[in-house]
Amino acid sequence: MKKIHIVGLGLLGGSFALALKKIRPEIKFTGYDINPQNQIDALTLGIIDEAKPEADQDTDIIILATPADTLPLLLEDVLDKIGAETLVMDFGSTKANLCAKIAEHPKRAHYLAGHPIAGTEYSGPKAAKADLLDRKVFIVCEMEKTDLHLKSKAYEVLEALNMKLRFMDPEEHDSQLAFVSHLSHISSFMLGKTVLDKMEDDKNIFDMAGSGFASTVRLAKSSPAMWAPIIKENKKNILEALSMYIANLSKFRDKILADDYDGIFHEMEKINKIRDILDLE
């Protein structure tokens, strides 16, 4: 492994490079970001050694870490020009649309569809952290469609980063992520909006907010440039999850309207079993 090129020098692309550079100082990192300031910051922070718009032909791995809706066209363009021994891997939060669009590309076997389950509410190269990916899950979709030899380059670096590989199909991935990630972001944004709307009357309302509020609203700090595209790419599954959530909230409201506090108690008690599931992790 000699050379890695990263397109999109933000939180994930940057954290990947910082982590790998610590344990594999011999690898040369090149990279590109559409935002010139991000490119300058990535050079300053040592995320990349050289900024260039396209990967050299002898690059081992190209990482695409740009917003979800930019990936189909970008991936097609990268595959068109890809070196004979180069693997391209993406870090996108949605997989079904991307895998479908690239299915018939003559260089399909050069591509590995990936998704690291890691992130924070911050973005950009300055938010990158060398330990962000450590021991996190990395989902691989359609592994059987990637060339065995090229794929091994990806597994080599992902294992070096202590990432836990999981394999699933793109539709299953997008459906599950809608529930355990995308819905959380929408619920948090709308919670933030509801309180901000209320704040227009009560200026001091945030003074009363405790750690519980901070925890549930944290994701409302997330980047719209990342999240609006995810919603676009995973529309169908997100609508399903969001509709189930709204229906559950409405049924809960009906219980309050009916003064059914026993029902509320028992419902909360059942949901408490999420303790056991989350504490296992």
Under the binding rule (CB under 8 A), the answer on residue 207 touching a copy of itself is yes
**Choices 11-19, 21-29, 33-41, 174-182; region in contact with a copy of itself by CB under 8 A:** 174-182
Q: Considering beta carbons, is residue 84 or 257 the nearer one to a copy of itself?
A: 257
How far apart are CB 77 and a copy of itself at their closest, in Å?
A: 22
Under the binding rule (CB under 8 A), the answer on residue 84 touching a copy of itself is no
Q: Which residue has the tokens 């691989």?
A: 140
Count, residues near a copy of itself per rule CB under 8 A: 94
Under the binding rule (CB under 8 A), the answer on residue 275 touching a copy of itself is yes
Distance CA 104, CA 124 (A): 33
Q: Which residue has the tokens 């990349």?
A: 48
Which residues, 6 or more positions from 86, have their beta carbon under 8 angstroms from its beta carbon?
55, 57, 58, 59, 60, 61, 62, 110, 150
Under the binding rule (CB under 8 A), the answer on residue 140 touching a copy of itself is no
Binding mask 231-270 for a copy of itself (x = CB under 8 A): xx--x--xx-xxxxxx-xxx-xx--xx-x-xx-xxxxxxx
Distance CA 70, CA 61 (A): 19
Start-to-end CA distance of the chain, whole Å, equals 33
Q: Which of 105, 120, 127, 131 binds a copy of itself (CB under 8 A)?
A: 120
Q: Considering beta carbons, is residue 45 or 242 the nearer one to a copy of itself?
A: 242
Q: Considering beta carbons, is residue 155 or 179 the nearer one to a copy of itself?
A: 179
In 25-161, the DSSP E strands lie at 28-32, 50-51, 61-64, 87-90, 111-116, 137-141
Other residues' Cβ atoms within 10 Å of the Cβ of residue 70: 15
How far apart are CB 35 and a copy of itself at their closest, in Å?
A: 16
Q: Considering beta carbons, is residue 100 or 258 the nearer one to a copy of itself?
A: 258
Q: Would you give the distance in Å from CA 141 to the centre of its chain?
A: 14
Distance CA 95, CA 177 (A): 10
**Choices 19-27, 84-92, 116-124, 141-149; region in contact with a copy of itself by CB under 8 A:** 116-124
Which residues, 6 or more positions from 139, have their beta carbon under 8 angstroms from its beta carbon?
95, 114, 115, 116, 117, 166, 167, 168, 173
Under the binding rule (CB under 8 A), the answer on residue 181 touching a copy of itself is yes
Under the binding rule (CB under 8 A), the answer on residue 186 touching a copy of itself is yes
Under the binding rule (CB under 8 A), the answer on residue 106 touching a copy of itself is no
Q: Considering beta carbons, is residue 57 or 248 the nearer one to a copy of itself?
A: 248
